[in-house]
A = this chain, B = another copy of it.
Amino acid sequence: MPSTRRNVTSVAIRLNQERGSFWLVDCGEGTQQQMLSSPLKPRQLEKLFITHLHGDHLFGLPGLLGSRAFQGGQTPLVIYGPKGLSEFVETTLRVSDTHLTYDIEVCEIDEGIVFEDDQFVVSSRKLSHGVLSFGYRFEESPSAGRLNTEKLAQEGIAEGPIYGQLKKGHDVALPDGRVLSAEDYVSAPIPGRKIVILGDTTPCEAVTQLAAGADVLVHEATYAAFDSDKARAHHHSTAVDAATAARDAGVGALILTHVSARYDEVGLAHLLDDAQTVFPNTFLATDHWSIAVPRS
């Protein structure tokens, strides 16, 4: 349920500048309207990951697809999600006579690797929510280590093709007979960032396994700890459930989303406080809130 203070769910991942695009996880009703007062443009949307097909995560999708066409989107769009997503997209676009100006591909996924290129690997796990609900792990490829140019200069090796060879990890034989070992001049690869964004779920092992060692975990916290009976009854988590999973998975930061409209300002403050007692580096997301995830 949306409220005047908080809309239904959608989370954007803004990718490295080079890619010039963003990805979206879930697309509740009103996502395109929220996007209007954000830096995100529908035509820059490259991939959309749907965690589960409940309306508060899905019903903004046909409108966003239509507006992306209306605004002149041309690049292909891939949409990942549970079985049933194809029928939803096909029916809503056909019945509404919506004609897209770009190609879409709908991939109904299972557990495992969802997408992979030389920059990212995206994998998924099934969670526990009464209906099929996925969590997604977005893992950036490690980047090459830093070349120690000071050391090279000290040893009289001038800038040139040799630098590129070393950076790629190749050892280089010099005309004077010396052999430069790449590992002496290049630091260890810099690990890529890891972001895990979950669909709705009640606590389960898949959460901590999927989130293991992530920089950031985005976890639902529909209920406060004192409403844990309600959380169990409706296949949801409390803020403390989320914090416990974050601690067990050893993540860097926890972001709570999907908080029920039943809690007022004071209730939300307590909810966050309870979570921080278990996992201190916890944030409560609000509409348009964002967090930077720097490379470590």
Please classify how large the interface on chain A is, using the bins under 10, 10 to 19, 20 to 34, 35 or more.
35 or more
Taking the closest CB of chain B, its distance from the CB of A287, in whole angstroms, is 11
Taking the closest CB of chain B, its distance from the CB of A75, in whole angstroms, is 19
Q: A88-B91, A88-B92, A97-B53 are in contact. Are A2 and B59 (CB under 8 A)?
A: no
Q: Which of B3, B58, B71, B131 contacts A36 (CB 8 A)?
A: B3
The answer to the question of A16 belonging to the interface, with a C-beta cut-off of 8 Å to chain B, is: no
Q: Which of B4, B36, B87, B97 contacts A54 (CB 8 A)?
A: B97
Taking the closest CB of chain B, its distance from the CB of A58, in whole angstroms, is 6
Which residues of chain B are near A67, meaning CB under 8 Å? 1-2
Contact mask A82-124 → B, CB, 8 Å, 1/0?
A: 0011011001100111100000000000000000000000000
Chain B residue nearest to A85 in the complex (CB)? B95
CA A70 to CA B56, docked complex, whole Å: 12
Question: Could you tell me if A59 and B62 are in contact, using CB atoms closer than 8 angstroms?
Answer: yes
Which residues of chain B are near A131, meaning CB under 8 Å? 97
Question: Could you tell me if A87 and B96 are in contact, using CB atoms closer than 8 angstroms?
Answer: no
Which residues of chain B are near A85, meaning CB under 8 Å? 95
Q: Which of B53, B54, B62, B84 contacts A55 (CB 8 A)?
A: B62
